[in-house]
C-alpha cells in the first residue's frame, strides 16, 4: 500500500507539478527572453526539462499547445542557419535513420527507389555499444550495393559533435532531409541548411521546430486528431499550426519462419511488449472471461518493465484465473546465443506457431504488435473509440491509431471486444476471413515503395 502511494506521487503528483511549472516558465520566457546569447543560454538550460514535462505529463497525455509554444519560443531566442536555395539537377536526399540498428522500423529496402533516382546520403545514429555488431553486419551485407550506387554511408555515435555533423550536412546542400530520431536532433536542425525537412515521429509527439516542413503524426494522444493536415484539438476546437500526416509509414517484416499447425492444435492467446500496457484491470478482466470460458486456452505473455508483473498477477488472481504465464523478454534482433538479456527468440517462435489469436491492449495499445500479428497470420482483436466517445472517456484510451486497425476486428466497448474474441475462437470461417483481410492491409502498409511514394507525393513534387 505504501509503495503504491509513493508510486502514485512520483508518477502523477510530481510530474503534474513540473508540468505546471514548465507552462509558467514558457509564459515568462516568451515575455523576457530575446534573440541574444544570454537568452539562448538560459533557454538551453531549461529546454529538455520543459519539453519532457509538457509531453506525456499524465499517462501519455500531452499538452501539444504548450509544445507549440515551446517551438515559438525557440524561434524567438535561437539563431538559425538559412535553408539553401540550390537547384540541384539531380536531387540530393539525406537520411538520418537507424538502418542497421533499428531494422524493425526502417530498412534499406524502403530506400532503394530513392537510391535509384537521387543522390543518397545516410547518417546512422548509433545509440548503444551493442549496435556496433549490427552496424558491421549491415555493412558486410550491403557494402557492394552501397558502393555500386554511390551511396554515402556514415555511422555517428549518439554523443556526436553537433558542429561537425551539421557542417557535413551543409556541404551536401541537399534538397531533402528525412530523420526519425525525434527531438534528440533538434540542435542540429538549428544549424542545417537543407531545403526541406521531414521528421518521422515514432511517438504521439511532434518535434517542436519550425524549420521542419512535415511531420508524421501516426498516433494522436487525447484529445487530438489530424484535420486538413493540421493537429486539431477536438475538446477546445482549436488548431495547432503544424504540418502533419499519417500517410508516411515505414515497417520491415520480421521474416520469421513459423511452423504451420492446424486450428485444433492452437491453444494460446499471445501478448508481448511493455508490461505497463498489459497492467490494465479492464483488459485483464476481458481476457479473464475468455480464459474462464475456454479452459483449454492459455494466455502467454513476454515483456519488458517487469515492475508491473505483480500488478498483472494481482488482476488475474482477483478473477480466479490460473491459465496464464509470463515467459520473459525476447528480441527480434538478438537470438538466445548473442544476447543474455534479450534471449528467448527461439521460444517465441515455438509459441507463435501454437498461437490461436492475439489481443491488443486497451488504454495503451500496440501498433507494431498489431502489424506483426498480420504478418504471422494470426487474428488480432483491437480496441478503438470514436472521437465523441473518446472525449468523454480519456482514461479508456490514451492515443488513437486508426490507419493500421481493421474495422471488422476493432471493438468500441469491452463487451464487443469479448464478443470478437469469442467469434475468432468459435468461428473458423470468420477467423480465416480476418487473416485474409489482415494480409491485404499488411501488404499495403509494408510495401517496399511506400515511403518513396508518400514522400514523393507530399514533398518531392513540390521541390523545384
Q: How many residues does the chain have?
A: 464
CATH class of 92-252+448-462: alpha beta
Q: Please choose, from the candidates 157, 8, 173, the residue with its C-alpha nearest in 3D space to the C-alpha of residue 90.
A: 173
Contacts 24+ apart (CB under 8 A), 416-424: 417/286, 417/362, 417/381, 417/383, 418/286, 418/289, 418/290, 420/381, 421/286, 421/290, 421/357, 421/359, 421/381, 422/290, 422/293, 424/356, 424/357, 424/379, 424/381
Average of per-residue pLDDT across 149-172: 88
Chain region(s) in the chain for CATH 3.40.50.2000: 263-445
Q: Please choose, from the candidates 302, 309, 312, the residue with its C-alpha nearest in 3D space to the C-alpha of residue 351.
A: 302
- Looking at the predicted structure, is the pLDDT value of residue 145 above 90? yes
Which pLDDT does position 103 carry in this prediction?
55
Average of per-residue pLDDT across 455-462: 90
Average of per-residue pLDDT across 391-419: 94
Q: If 0-12 CB within 10 Å is exposed, 13-18 middle and 19+ buried, where does residue 433 land?
A: middle
- Looking at the predicted structure, is the pLDDT value of residue 8 above 60? no
What is the pLDDT of the chain when averaged over all its residues?
90
Average of per-residue pLDDT across 38-59: 92
Pairing of strands 230-233, 224-227: antiparallel
CA atoms lying within 13 Å on the CB side of residue 347? 16
Question: pLDDT digits over 268-311, tens only?
Answer: 999 999 999 999 999 999 999 999 999 999 999 999 999 999 99
Q: Which H or E run includes 336?
A: none
Average of per-residue pLDDT across 178-196: 91
CA max distance for the chain: 71
- Looking at the predicted structure, is the pLDDT value of residue 380 above 80? yes
Least confident stretch, 2-6, 222-226, 457-461: 2-6
Percent of the chain with pLDDT over 70: 93
Which pLDDT does position 156 carry in this prediction?
80
Q: If 0-12 CB within 10 Å is exposed, 13-18 middle and 19+ buried, where does residue 38 land?
A: exposed
d(CA 71, CA 8): 30
Question: pLDDT digits over 77-115, tens only?
Answer: 999 999 999 889 999 999 998 887 665 578 899 999 999
Average of per-residue pLDDT across 417-422: 98
Tell me the pLDDT band of 340, cut-offs 50, 70 and 90.
very low
Domain 263-445 has CATH 3.40.50.2000: yes
Angle CA(24)–CA(27)–CA(33) in degrees, nearest 5?
A: 120
Q: What is the pTM of this model?
A: 0.90
Q: Scan for cell 463487451, then name that residue.
A: 415
CA atoms lying within 13 Å on the CB side of residue 18? 20
Question: pLDDT digits over 262-274, tens only?
Answer: 888 899 999 999 9
Q: Scan for cell 558542429, then name that residue.
A: 163
Decide which of 329 and 326 is more confident: 326
Which pLDDT does position 330 carry in this prediction?
84
d(CA 116, CA 196): 20
Which pLDDT does position 5 carry in this prediction?
53
Which pLDDT does position 10 carry in this prediction?
62
Which pLDDT does position 464 carry in this prediction?
67
Q: If 0-12 CB within 10 Å is exposed, 13-18 middle and 19+ buried, where does residue 277 land?
A: buried
Amino acid at each position: 500500500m505504501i509503495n503504491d502511494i509513493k508510486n502514485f506521487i512520483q508518477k502523477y503528483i510530481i510530474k503534474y507539478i513540473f508540468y505546471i511549472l514548465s507552462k509558467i516558465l514558457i509564459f515568462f520566457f516568451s515575455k523576457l527572453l530575446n534573440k541574444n546569447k544570454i537568452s539562448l543560454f538560459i533557454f538551453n538550460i531549461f529546454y529538455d526539462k520543459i519539453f519532457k514535462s509538457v509531453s506525456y505529463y499524465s499517462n501519455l497525455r500531452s499538452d501539444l499547445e504548450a509544445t507549440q509554444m515551446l517551438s515559438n519560443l525557440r524561434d524567438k531566442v535561437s539563431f538559425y542557419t538559412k535553408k539553401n536555395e540550390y537547384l540541384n539537377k539531380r536531387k540530393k536526399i539525406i537520411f538520418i535513420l537507424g538502418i542497421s540498428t533499428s531494422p524493425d522500423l526502417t530498412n534499406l529496402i524502403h530506400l532503394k527507389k530513392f537510391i535509384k533516382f537521387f543522390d543518397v546520403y545516410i547518417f546512422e545514429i548509433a545509440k548503444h555499444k551493442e549496435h556496433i555488431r549490427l552496424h558491421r553486419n549491415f555493412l558486410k551485407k550491403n557494402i557492394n550495393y552501397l558502393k555500386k550506387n554511390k551511396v554515402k554511408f556514415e555511422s555517428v555515435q549518439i554523443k556526436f559533435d553537433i558542429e561537425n555533423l551539421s557542417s557535413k550536412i551543409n556541404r551536401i546542400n541537399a534538397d531533402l532531409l528525412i530523420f526519425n530520431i525525434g527531438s534528440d536532433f533538434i540542435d542540429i536542425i538549428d544549424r542545417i541548411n537543407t531545403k526541406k525537412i521531414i521528421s518521422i515521429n515514432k511517438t504521439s509527439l511532434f518535434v517542436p521546430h519550425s524549420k521542419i516542413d512535415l511531420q508524421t503524426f501516426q498516433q494522436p494522444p487525447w484529445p487530438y486528431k489530424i484535420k486538413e493536415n493540421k493537429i486539431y484539438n477536438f475538446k477546445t476546437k482549436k488548431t495547432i499550426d503544424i504540418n502533419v500526416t499519417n500517410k508516411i509509414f515505414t515497417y520491415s517484416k520480421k521474416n520469421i519462419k513459423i511452423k504451420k499447425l492446424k486450428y485444433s492444435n492452437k491453444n494460446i492467446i499471445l501478448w508481448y511488449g511493455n508490461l505497463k500496457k498489459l497492467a490494465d484491470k479492464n483488459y485483464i478482466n476481458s481476457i479473464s472471461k475468455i480464459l474462464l470460458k475456454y479452459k483449454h486456452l492459455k494466455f502467454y505473455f513476454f515483456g519488458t518493465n517487469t515492475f508491473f508483473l505483480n500488478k498483472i498477477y494481482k488482476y488475474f488472481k482477483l478473477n480466479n484465473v490460473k491459465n496464464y504465464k509470463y515467459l520473459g523478454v525476447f528480441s527480434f534482433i538478438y537470438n538466445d546465443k548473442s544476447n543474455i538479456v534479450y534471449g528467448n527468440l527461439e521460444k517465441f517462435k515455438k509459441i507463435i506457431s501454437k498461437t490461436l489469436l492475439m489481443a491488443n491492449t486497451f488504454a495503451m495499445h500496440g501498433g507494431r504488435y498489431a502489424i506483426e500479428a498480420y504478418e504471422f497470420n494470426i487474428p488480432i482483436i483491437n480496441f478503438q473509440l470514436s472521437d465523441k466517445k473518446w472525449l468523454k472517456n480519456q482514461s479508456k484510451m490514451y492515443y488513437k491509431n486508426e490507419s493500421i486497425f481493421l474495422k471488422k476486428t476493432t471493438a468500441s466497448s469491452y463487451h464487443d471486444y469479448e464478443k470478437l474474441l469469442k467469434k475468432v475462437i468459435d468461428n473458423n470461417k470468420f477467423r480465416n476471413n480476418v487473416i485474409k483481410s489482415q494480409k491485404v492491409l499488411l501488404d499495403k502498409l509494408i510495401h517496399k515503395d511506400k515511403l518513396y511514394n508518400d514522400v514523393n507525393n507530399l514533398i518531392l513534387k513540390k521541390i523545384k
